[in-house]
A and B are shown apart, each in its own frame.
Chain A
Amino acid sequence: MKEFAMIMISAALVNNVILARFLGLCSFMGVTTRIDTAAGMGFATTFVITVSSMADWAVQTYLLDAYGLGFLRTVTFILVIASAVQFTEMTIKKVSPELFQMLGIYLPLITTNCAVLGVALLLVEGHMSFINATLFAFASSLGYSLVMVIFAGLRERLALVQVPRLFAGPPIAFIVAGMLAMAFMGFSGIAAS
């Protein structure tokens, strides 16, 4: 149980996907103008990262490692992720057209999010068991969602305050993102006893 807890804390907070590994920065800046949209995006990305990481782990273990095809890892993972995203969309459309319609308007497509590929590559390099890899992917995406919601909240507050013209808009958002990253560096002091 302690091992699971350490994986969760390490992936979500200490090695946060956005603020420590600098992955998924595009959506971090693009979809964080409102808390609701950021939270919705967080749910969608959490689902896609976890599901595609499980599929990537299976492909790596039972296909690439088994047949010595490790050099095809990146290409294969991209294919698996694209298939997982497409499969997710098709399943949601089949299960509930109403949800698909609504999410299609307000939540953007996730294919171009590099965090999905980054997490899959990290968990394979960690040589984890299936359940540990799944927990790692889930925790990483939880960390991603957490930062998205926090940053969206900060940007909603920023929209209400007066900032010097020079810093208005993206510049102040970048400065706040940097401060948030520094705040998250505090988690690197957590050590297992």
Chain B
Amino acid sequence: MNATREIASMSQDYSTPMVEGIARVVRVEPGWAWLEPEQTTSCGSCASSASCGSHSAAGIGSVASRLQSRRFRLDNPAGPGELREGERVVVGVQNSALLKAAVLAYGFPLAAALCGGGIAQSAYESDPLSMLGVAAGLAFGLLVARFGAHRLAVRGEATPRFLRRARPDETCK
């Protein structure tokens, strides 16, 4: 069943171009598994993450606490294919979905903030009022992002899929 499931997942992988990421299973519940993404820094060096920041101490703002907040749930069917705690797996989403998510989360709010600042500056030519305009634009952009993300989630594009178990030497790069 395990092999069948992996073959089925790989067929999904080849049908649409996917971005892959490695995650570690941290908790298993009936029907679900909780995963923690492995990639930690902008240099993409997951292997050296233990040395940059307090990986073990889960204080506010530490790498450990931020990774903990990024845990996500994955379907974990019962049987021989069941994921186990400590296992590393490769999860994927469509390329286009990742770009859409980045545009929604960062692009729209930033564009709206810049528009708000620009309008306030041209109308009042005052720095404090421009800052208020930026804040108002940012809030509006985040509202748009919320609706867009909801639509993305409804279509199921925002949910990572299990692709395969990671090889021992496989890294997040």
Contact = CB atoms under 8 A, between A and B. Distances in A.
Interface string B92-108: 01010111011111110
B134 interface: yes
B45 A103 contact: no
Contacts of A108: 39-44
A93 B149 CA distance: 11
Interface stretch (A44-52, A69-77, A183-191): A44-52
Given A102-B159, A111-B41, 7 more contacts: A51-B138, A61-B127, A95-B146, A98-B152, A103-B102, A110-B42, A131-B118
Given A37-B19, A129-B127, A131-B118, A30 B42 contact: yes
Contacts of B43: 26-27, 29-31, 108, 112
Contacts of A100: 70, 105
25 contacts: A37-B19, A39-B102, A44-B102, A47-B105, A47-B110, A50-B110, A50-B113, A50-B114, A51-B138, A58-B131, A89-B66, A93-B69, A102-B98, A104-B37, A104-B70, A105-B37, A105-B91, A105-B93, A106-B39, A108-B41, A109-B66, A113-B42, A130-B121, A131-B127, A138-B114
Given A95-B146, A99-B101, A106-B21, A54 B134 contact: yes
A65 interface: no
A26 B99 CA distance: 21
B72 interface: yes
A86 B69 CA distance: 12
Interface of A, helix, strand, loop or mixed by DSSP: helix
A30 B44 CA distance: 5
A92 interface: yes
A62 to B, nearest CB: 9
A31 B42 contact: yes
Contacts of B39: 105-106, 108
A109 B130 contact: no
B121 A33 contact: no
Contacts of A130: 117, 121, 127, 130-131
B28 to A, nearest CB: 18
B97 A95 contact: no
Contacts of B41: 26, 30, 108-109, 111-112
A162 interface: no
Which residue among A34, A54, A108 has the maximum number of chain B CB atoms within 10 Å of its CB? A108
A105 B42 contact: no
Contacts of A44: 102, 105-106
A119 interface: no
